[in-house]
Amino acid sequence: MRTLQQSFAVQFSYGVYFTENLFSTGNTLLTEVLQQDKSTSRRKVFFVIDSGVAEAHPQLAQDIKSYAQGHEQVMKLLAEPMVITGGEEVKNDTELLYQLLEAINTNGICRHSYLIAIGGGAVLDMAGFAAAIAHRGIRHIRVPTTVLAQDDSAVGVKNSFNSFGKKNFLGTFAPPFAVINDSQFLLTLDDRDWRSGISEAIKVALIKDEVFYNEIKENAEKLVQRDMPAMQQLIHRCAEMHVQHIGGADPFETGSSRPLDFGHWAAHKLEQLTNYSLRHGEAVAIGIALDVLYSKLKGMLTAAECEDILGLLHKLGFALYVPELSGCDATTGKLAVIKGLTEFREHLGGQLTIMLLTRIGKGVEVHEMDEKLLEQAIDLLKHRFQPQTLHHV
């Protein structure tokens, strides 16, 4: 028998930048990022814009064209910016995916071109997926426009598309060329999208950093009142923690552990069960509340800490119960959300690994969940947080 053994390592490096008014002609950040490739020719660039962002910023496409004209020695627009449907729909519609791939083909976007996507997490997921599979990888720059995307999803290495009724069933691990956070895009968010990304900051603080959790709690009123410095502080620290984790031992998740998905097994299922009427961050807040209550019922977390966390989520304005949380699966007769455990196990690669809490700032992995205790936790959430009901659990 003959064997050829291959082994090599690839170094990935990208920056996460923070700025304001990215497409102001006097802001040179984008051109500086593009020039990192050391090319001596003009960089070919194609923009994709989330339809919700385009509606909120009707001058954006013209700003981009003016910016390109003002920096024509560095960059060349290959086509008019493409506006694509925003929200989770863009990750469920294969026709939209193929429209973007067709645009990549038609406009001659090659491996040395740049696909720059501007939008919320769903658009960035889909655009990143398209960039990763076209020509086996096009340089991709993310410009996230929501709190959730700026502090969490856009700073990572994952791209995805929903399929077979499952969230993120298709996807790639493909690091972006760069991530550019422009805080001006946050000013036009509605209250739901402003709030939604805070849950991801709470998530990472609960499992990794009690000091950060306390900072969020101290700034809760400011965050509710849409204080920009408080939000910028939250986004920077949350993004920093995600970057540190992703650059650790398992950036491409070859193992069976995804600690940054605390609260997500139920969240992903709830998004599907509500036909994606729940924002991702809203579903994560419910998933966190569920796993926090479960941790308490399991004897892992004190009642005082459980109450502290639920109180913070409620103060920030998150709804911590939706009827779909108590809905039953027509086939099994079990709570439909419980199927999220099976789907999460499949997504991890076979072994179920769930992050729970032993205290604020300290997560611990478990490999099984007691369905009876989960049902009890859901009942407690329903008793306390269903509309017009206020009771302590």
In SS3 terms, the chain reads as CCCCCCCCCCCCCCEEEEECCCCCCCCCHHHHHHHHHCCCCCEEEEEEEEHHHHHHCCCHHHHHHHHHHHCCCCEEECCCCEEECCCHHHHCCHHHHHHHHHHHHHCCCCCCCEEEEEECHHHHHHHHHHHHHHHHCCEEEEEECCHHHHHCHHHCCEEEEEECCEEEEEEEECCCCEEEEEHHHHHHCCHHHHHHCHHHHHHHHHHHCHHHHHHHHHCHHHHHCCCHHHHHHHHHHHHHHHHHHHCCCCCCCCCCCCHHHCCHHHHHHHHHHCCCCCCHHHHHHHHHHHHHHHHHHCCCCCHHHHHHHHHHHHHCCCCCCCHHHHCECCCCCCEHHHHHHHHHHHHHCCCCCEEEEEECCEEEEECCCCHHHHHHHHHHHHHHHCCCCCCCC
Vertex 336, ends 330 and 338: CA angle to 5°?
Answer: 140
Domain match, 162 and 264 both: no
Which residue in the block uniquely carries the two structure tokens 């990549």? 104
Q: How many domains does the chain have?
A: 2
Using the 3D structure, point to which of 165, 188, 211 is the last residue of a domain. 188
Domain match, 123 and 30 both: yes
In a domain, 353, yes or no: yes
Domain match, 24 and 169 both: yes
Domain match, 134 and 57 both: yes
Q: What is the CA radius of gyration of the chain?
A: 21
Using the 3D structure, point to which of 188, 210, 236 is the last residue of a domain. 188
pLDDT value at residue 329: 86
pLDDT value at residue 245: 84
DSSP β-bridge partners for residue 43: 75
Domain match, 182 and 257 both: no
Give the residue among 147, 145, 135, 142 at the shortest CA–CA distance from 111. 135
In a domain, 1, yes or no: no
pLDDT value at residue 314: 97
Low-confidence ranges of the chain (pLDDT < 70): 249, 254-257, 347-350, 388-393
In a domain, 7, yes or no: no
In a domain, 323, yes or no: yes
Domain CATH number, residue 304: 1.20.1090.10
Domain CATH number, residue 27: 3.40.50.1970
Distance between CA 181 and CA 179 in Å, rounded? 7
Domain match, 182 and 59 both: yes
Domain match, 175 and 321 both: no
In a domain, 2, yes or no: no
Describe the crossing of helices 280-297 and 303-315 by its angle, rounded to 10 degrees.
160
Distance between CA 290 and CA 331 in Å, rounded? 24
In a domain, 209, yes or no: no
Domain match, 155 and 264 both: no
Using the 3D structure, point to which of 188, 216, 236 is the last residue of a domain. 188
* Host domain of residue 270: 248-385
pLDDT value at residue 270: 96
Distance between CA 10 and CA 131 in Å, rounded? 19
In a domain, 215, yes or no: no
In a domain, 198, yes or no: no
Domain match, 33 and 174 both: yes
Domain match, 175 and 253 both: no
DSSP β-bridge partners for residue 116: 47, 141
Domain match, 22 and 168 both: yes
Domain match, 34 and 180 both: yes
pLDDT value at residue 255: 63
What is the pTM for the complete model shown? 0.91
